[in-house]
Amino acid sequence: MRLPREGGCGCTGRMATAPVIDVRDLNVKYGDFHAVKDLSFQVERGELYALLGTNGAGKTSTLETVEGHRPATSGAVRVFGRDPRDRREVRPRVGTMLQESGFSPDLTVRESVRLIGSLTGRTDRVERLLGVVGLAHKAGTRVSQLSGGEKRRLDFATAVYGTPELVFLDEPTTGLDIQSRDALWDAVDRLREEGATVVLTTHYLEEAQQRADRIGLMHRGTLRREGTVSELTRALPATIRFSPPAGAPDLPLPAVPEGGGTFLVETPALQKDLHVLLDWARDHGVELRDLQAGPTRLDDVFRALDGE
Ligand SMILES: Nc1ncnc2c1ncn2[C@@H]1O[C@H](COP(=O)(O)OP(=O)(O)OP(=O)(O)O)[C@@H](O)[C@H]1O
């Protein structure tokens, strides 16, 4: 998948240092229910920022506000220094891939993409863009006749039409096969080479772990963690798992039995403790079955939210 380089928003007046997205003390309420509480975060130009969280954490409510679809109950939200509901100024610079596409089922793929062109004022070459997302052969097909994965690819095509400066990707790879996922991320990389800022939400944590420059972790309406992947994961210990043979000598480290003969070591010093364990195994002629060692993963950071 290759993004077309032609076209663009033709926008002017970019600020070199101001954040592209600036959210301060955002609150969103639905009646008495407080869905987003005093949320503040900024996204810098060119960043890929992943807003992640547990179900019902408030991600969609936050993003709908930042995208200008929902008014804030209180707080300040700025996109390119403007109120995101200022459609005339903000919309030409922003592409959005929502969780649910809003295309008319009677329009063809080609017509749907052209419609985005007329709504955003951006220009692009439709046939070439459809080639990027592997839908060139479906250009004349009605949206109602697309598969779920093809609809997602069409959503993506419309979000990146005309290479917008800021792209929102809400669960972009849900329902996509592995080839389409790889192609989508390839296209996102190219978009970023053009200097685009990307805001991602996903429940595929490994995608965020691989792609995001920074991650914001929401839980129950508030931002509980924020930082790079290594900043988020280094706060938790690394893990070593192994199964010693029955009758092995006393272990050289504090280890917790996990059932099935497996033991777990949690350690802030992975390399050192791994050496200790392997030296002990060699000295005693012990074979450690199912040995696994690694730094904390993002899913462990997520699990740690449960107790909060
Ligand atoms: N229109 C609404 N009216 C009342 N409550 C709502 C409305 N929309 C969302 N909520 C509630 O606000 C909370 C946050 O919802 P939101 O959709 O923002 O969460 P989310 O982080 O996107 O969740 P998920 O990961 O499950 O999609 C949830 O408890 C949800 O039930």
Last residue of a domain, one of 232, 256, 286: 232
57 lines ligand 1 (CB under 6 A): yes
Q: Report pTM.
A: 0.83
What residues make up the domain containing 296?
A: 237-305
- Of the given ranges (74-78, 102-106, 189-193), which has the lowest mean pLDDT? 102-106
Domain co-membership, 193 together with 79: yes
Please check the confidence at residue 44 and state whether its pLDDT lies above 50: yes
Please check the confidence at residue 139 and state whether its pLDDT lies above 70: yes
The answer to whether residue 257 sits within a structural domain is yes
Whose Cα sits closest to atom 18 in ligand 1?
A: 58
Question: What is the mean pLDDT of the segment spanning 30-53?
Answer: 97
Domain co-membership, 146 together with 161: yes
Domain co-membership, 270 together with 248: yes
Whose Cα sits closest to atom 31 in ligand 1?
A: 56
Domain co-membership, 225 together with 243: no
| pLDDT at residue 88 in the model | 86
Q: Residue 16: pLDDT band by 50, 70, 90 thresholds?
A: low
Domain co-membership, 163 together with 268: no
230 lines ligand 1 (CB under 6 A): no
Domain co-membership, 38 together with 74: yes
d(CA 81, CA 168): 17
The answer to whether residue 5 sits within a structural domain is no
Whose Cα sits closest to atom 25 in ligand 1?
A: 55
The answer to whether residue 50 sits within a structural domain is yes
Please check the confidence at residue 1 and state whether its pLDDT lies above 80: no
Question: What is the mean pLDDT of the segment spanning 35-39?
Answer: 97
ipTM over 0.90: yes
| Domain total of the chain | 2
d(CA 143, CA 150): 9
Question: What is the mean pLDDT of the segment spanning 209-232?
Answer: 94
Whose Cα sits closest to atom 12 in ligand 1?
A: 35
Please check the confidence at residue 33 and state whether its pLDDT lies above 60: yes
Domain co-membership, 241 together with 225: no
Sheet arrangement for strand 33-43: 33-43, 21-30, 74-79
Give the tens place of pLDDT for each residue, 57-84.
Answer: 999 999 999 999 999 999 999 999 999 9
Last residue of a domain, one of 232, 259, 279: 232
The answer to whether residue 8 sits within a structural domain is no
Pairwise pLDDT comparison (15 vs 48), residue with the higher score: 48
| pLDDT at residue 120 in the model | 86
Please check the confidence at residue 129 and state whether its pLDDT lies above 50: yes
Locate the DSSP E strands across the chain: 21-30, 33-43, 48-53, 74-79, 94-97, 166-170, 197-201, 214-219, 222-227, 238-243, 256-259, 262-267, 289-294
Please check the confidence at residue 2 and state whether its pLDDT lies above 60: no
Query: CA nearest 45: which of 202, 166, 216, 215?
Result: 166
Query: CA nearest 64: which of 109, 89, 30, 115?
Result: 30
- Of the given ranges (92-96, 121-125, 282-286), which has the lowest mean pLDDT? 121-125
Question: What is the mean pLDDT of the segment spanning 156-184?
Answer: 92
Ligand 1 closest atom vs CA 57: 21
Helix (H, G, I), strand (E, B) or coil at 148: helix
Which CATH number does the domain housing residue 95 bear?
Answer: 3.40.50.300
For the chain, the average pLDDT equals: 90
What are residue 116's phi and psi, to 5 degrees? -60, -40
Domain co-membership, 68 together with 173: yes
Q: Is the dihedral of CA 256, 259, 263, 265 positive or negative?
A: negative
Residue 190 parent element (H or E): helix 178-193
The answer to whether residue 6 sits within a structural domain is no
Interval between CA 56 and ligand 1 midpoint (Å):
5
The answer to whether residue 196 sits within a structural domain is yes
Domain co-membership, 132 together with 228: yes
- Of the given ranges (109-123, 260-274, 293-307), which has the lowest mean pLDDT? 293-307
| pLDDT at residue 273 in the model | 96
| pLDDT at residue 215 in the model | 96
Domain co-membership, 241 together with 216: no
206 lines ligand 1 (CB under 6 A): no
Domain co-membership, 43 together with 192: yes
Whose Cα sits closest to atom 29 in ligand 1?
A: 56
Interval between CA 233 and ligand 1 midpoint (Å):
27
58 lines ligand 1 (CB under 6 A): yes
Domain co-membership, 226 together with 253: no
Q: Which DSSP state fits 224? A: E
Please check the confidence at residue 148 and state whether its pLDDT lies above 60: yes
Residues 162/122, Cβ–Cβ less than 8 Å? yes
Q: Quick one: tokens of 156?
A: 């993506």
